[in-house]
Amino acid sequence: MRIWFSLTLFVLSILYLAYGLSTLSIFTSAGRPGPGFFPTLVGAGLVIFTAINCYKDFMERRASAAKAQQTAMEKQLSKFDDDDTNDQEEKGTNSQGELSGQRYTKDVVWAIALITLFIAVLKPLGAILSMVVFMLILLWKFNPKRMKFNVLYSVLFPLGIYLLFEVWLRAGLPEGILGY
Amino acid sequence: MIADIFGNLGMGLSVAITPINLLFLFIGAFVGMIVGLFPGFGPAAGIAILLPLTFGLDPTTAIIMLAGIYYGAMYGGTITSILINTPGESATVASTLDGYPLAQQGRAGPALVMQAIASFVGGTTGVILICALIPTLANLAASFGPSEYFLIILFGLLLLATVMGDNKINGIISALIGFAVGMVGVDVISGSQRFTFGSPELIGGIYFVPVAIGLFGIGELLYCIYIGQHKIELKKLRLSFRSENFWPTRKDYSESKFTFIRGSVIGFIAGLLPGSGGTLGSIMGYSIEKKVAKDPEKFGKGEMRGLVAPECANNAASAGSMVPLLSLGIPGSGSTAVLLGAFMMWGLRPGPMMIVNDPEFVWGLIASMYLGNIVLIFLCIAAIPLFVKFLDIPYRLVIPIIVVLCVVGTYALHSSIIETWMLVAGGLLGFGMKLYGYSPAATVLALVLGGMAENTLLQSLIASDGSLMVFVERPISLFLTCAVAVVLLAPYALKLYRYVTKRNVGLV
């Protein structure tokens, strides 16, 4: 995944530099630095450093792929040699699987989706209702064992936030279909 | 000199000591301590998330409250370091080395009380040194031209990006991303629109608060979910004043008396350097204390001096990092960058001119730091059992509080849904940065300082007709250019030296 992040930054850097160069002048007609001078320096720096990162990530990926291939080959060879060693290797794979299982990518995707939904419905539903809906779904997902508590928490906390921002700070939160 | 310090501090106290200011200082310190308790949420995230809550306040009160959050988070971050071996933020990592072993030996009470006293001593020493340093530095800064300002910004960013991070290239990319985002809007010199794509919403530029809340708040939250913080079932911890051995012994105090002084001075000096802040200060404080100790083998096994030194240092560093912010207008860390953003939001422009034009505010803020330390030591000791109870709250119940505060707080800034989407974009970027070793603090610092960096660079180049000699002509700029060169080249020189030494040893 690291390489994808680096590649995304690299592509965005190229787009930033290209857009800057095509829309802004680097020097004014008097030969002084123009509006595109600093953005060009920044964009060029970004392109260079993100490219270095992409190259490094690519090389690391290739090295780890070669290492994995070598390990797989050694494993194949050891299959013919020793059954005990085979058991140990399998155990190693399992423990690695458990380690990678300790990363909660699905939960992160859930959280991002819910935050996106929360913002998308903030104006149409209004602040209170969207906060309540967001909290109910999030707690149903992350804290499923205590539904009664979740409902109470999802109603009382948004109410407190509404009072804080709307009544005390007069922040003008979205009213939505409920009118508050 | 001393009379000036006391005179200035007296003026500051007269500004800071009002019932409203004291109330919000207390609230800020209390909330800051709670923020510090949750792993991953340091002072920068706390200030960014809670910034919108200060809108209804007078600017002085608002900044005093935010400074209270800053200090409170530094105090609170240590509680988790001692009790559950999980530092609340990077500046308290060194406190786990002896803090947690102390708790395991059944000395959690004395460790928490000593950390509160150490934080107080560090913070107070820092405030006294600020009083002595700020006027001198501000006088010096008054003679700075644009080239010196540009070099200071560059030096600070390079330190933050290259010295503090694990990966130098990632640090530089992080800072450049901040500059790139800061370029959106209208160019102040030519009046041309840049990177606005014709959108009227972007003409005013990208406001730093949603990006900072996204990077520090949502980004950290997503990372905590990713590593499974929300799945952790917490053990119930209990501490009571009535419990046996709650208070430190006379031996604890007598053994640590010089540690308090050493840690505070080292931390303050580390805090002065842009970009280093509390993390470097606490590590330096710990290492030096271990080096000067007659019994270094005790360190890491529950030695009280090993806890006192980093605690004094990280709190003195927090005070030290306010010096470049207040005297030069240049923040040295992510937290002070967010504070600078808050200053700007209130129409305040820190720097040498602010000390001349608005001394009541500057000295009021400094005095509030001193008061904040007094509030925090009482709060910290009196409410230890209460704060320990906060640790019972599972992280999965904290997630909705953070998200709702981030989203509603961002919307409340300008009632703008576009800024709220920027928060999500900042959050995704912050998550990726945290995951792959980039520096969100460098991004925020560059975003806040982007305009100033560009203006000072252009002014320098225009004044010198494009000659780069402007960066070496004056003694201060020459010194700063050398400092920048050292930061850039030192790691490579060190590598070369090691390589040559290794080869010579090999040849022998």
Got the DSSP string for B206-255? --HHHHHIIIIIIHHHHHHHHTTGGGPPPPP----TTSTT-SPPHHHHHH
Interface pTM (ipTM) of the complex?
0.84
The radius of gyration computed from the CA coordinates of chain B, to the nearest angstrom, equals: 23
The confidence score (pLDDT) of residue A31 equals 83
Residue pLDDT, tens place only, A98-130? 334 578 899 999 999 999 999 999 999 999 999
Residue A56, Cβ neighbours under 10 Å: how many? 15
At which of A68, A101, A134 does a domain end? Answer: A101
Q: Are residues A55 and A118 in the same domain?
A: no
Look up residue B369 and give its two tokens: 């730091």
Chain B CB contacts of A16 below 8 Å: 180, 195
Check pLDDT > 50 for residue A94.
no
Look up residue B472 and give its two tokens: 């070496």
The radius of gyration computed from the CA coordinates of chain A, to the nearest angstrom, equals: 27
Sign for the pseudo-dihedral over CA of B494, B496, B499, B503: negative
Check pLDDT > 90 for residue A50.
yes
Q: Tell me whether A147 touches chain B (CB under 8 Å).
A: no
CA distance B270 to B287: 13
Closest residue, chain B, to A47 (C-alpha): B173
Q: Are residues A174 and A109 in the same domain?
A: yes
Which domain range does residue A128 map to? 105-178
At which of A85, A101, A117 does a domain end? Answer: A101
Local structure of residue B159 (DSSP, 8 states): I
At which of A81, A101, A121 does a domain end? Answer: A101
Q: Look at A97 and A22; give whichever has higher pLDDT.
A: A22
Q: Are residues A96 and A111 in the same domain?
A: no
CB contact under 8 A, A20 and B195: yes
Q: Are residues A110 and A94 in the same domain?
A: no
Alpha carbon B143 to chain centroid distance? 27
From B176, B394, B408, residue closest to A46, measured CB to CB: B176
CB contact under 8 A, A5 and B411: no
Residue B1, Cβ neighbours under 10 Å: how many? 7
Total number of domains constituting chain A: 2
Q: Tell me the pLDDT band of A96, cut-offs 50, 70 and 90.
A: very low
The confidence score (pLDDT) of residue B105 equals 84
The confidence score (pLDDT) of residue B501 equals 85
CA distance B61 to B22: 9
Q: Are residues A65 and A113 in the same domain?
A: no
CA distance A158 to B280: 39
Local structure of residue B143 (DSSP, 8 states): T
What is the identity of the amino acid at B35?
V
The confidence score (pLDDT) of residue B50 equals 84
CA distance B17 to B489: 48
Q: What is the mean pLDDT of residues A28-49?
A: 92
The confidence score (pLDDT) of residue A177 equals 80
Q: Tell me whether B301 touches chain A (CB under 8 Å).
A: no
The confidence score (pLDDT) of residue B425 equals 95
Q: Tell me whether A69 touches chain B (CB under 8 Å).
A: no
A positions 26-55 inside 8 Å of B (CB): 28, 31-39, 42-43, 45-46, 49-50, 52-53
- The answer to whether the beta carbons of residues B71 and B126 sit under 8 Å apart is no
From B189, B228, B428, residue closest to A102, measured CB to CB: B228
Instruction: Quote the mean pLDDT of chain A.
Output: 84
Q: Are residues A11 and A87 in the same domain?
A: yes
CA distance B198 to A126: 29
φ and ψ at A27, to 5 degrees? Answer: -125, 150
The confidence score (pLDDT) of residue B238 equals 67
Q: What is the mean pLDDT of residues A2-12?
A: 94
Q: Tell me whether B230 touches chain A (CB under 8 Å).
A: yes
Alpha carbon A165 to chain centroid distance? 28
B positions 145-174 inside 8 Å of A (CB): 169-170, 172-173
- The answer to whether the beta carbons of residues A52 and B226 sit under 8 Å apart is no
- Size of the A and B interface in Cβ pairs below 8 Å: 168
The confidence score (pLDDT) of residue B271 equals 85
Chain A CB contacts of B405 below 8 Å: 161
Q: Are residues A33 and A116 in the same domain?
A: no
Tens digit of pLDDT at every position of chain B (508 positions): 677 778 888 888 888 889 999 999 999 988 888 888 776 667 888 888 888 888 778 888 988 898 888 888 888 878 878 887 777 677 788 888 888 888 888 888 888 889 989 999 998 998 888 888 888 877 787 788 889 889 988 888 887 777 656 688 898 999 999 999 999 998 878 888 999 988 888 888 888 888 988 998 899 899 989 988 888 776 666 666 667 677 888 888 888 889 999 999 999 988 887 666 677 788 888 988 988 888 888 888 889 999 999 999 988 988 888 888 888 788 877 788 888 888 887 788 787 778 778 888 888 888 888 888 888 888 888 877 787 777 778 888 989 998 998 999 888 888 889 989 999 999 999 999 989 989 888 898 888 888 889 999 999 998 888 888 889 988 889 998 998 898 888 878 888 888 888 887 766 5
CB contact under 8 A, B176 and A45: yes
Look up residue A96 and give its two tokens: 């690695």
Q: Are residues A80 and A128 in the same domain?
A: no
Alpha carbon B350 to chain centroid distance? 16
CA distances from B318 to B40, B119, B128, B331 (A): 18, 10, 13, 11
The confidence score (pLDDT) of residue A167 equals 80
Q: Are residues A82 and A115 in the same domain?
A: no
Q: Are residues A21 and A44 in the same domain?
A: yes
| Cβ neighbours for B305, distance < 8 A, ≥ 6 positions apart | B98, B255, B256, B259, B289, B293, B299
Q: Are residues A84 and A131 in the same domain?
A: no
The confidence score (pLDDT) of residue A98 equals 34
Q: Are residues A79 and A160 in the same domain?
A: no
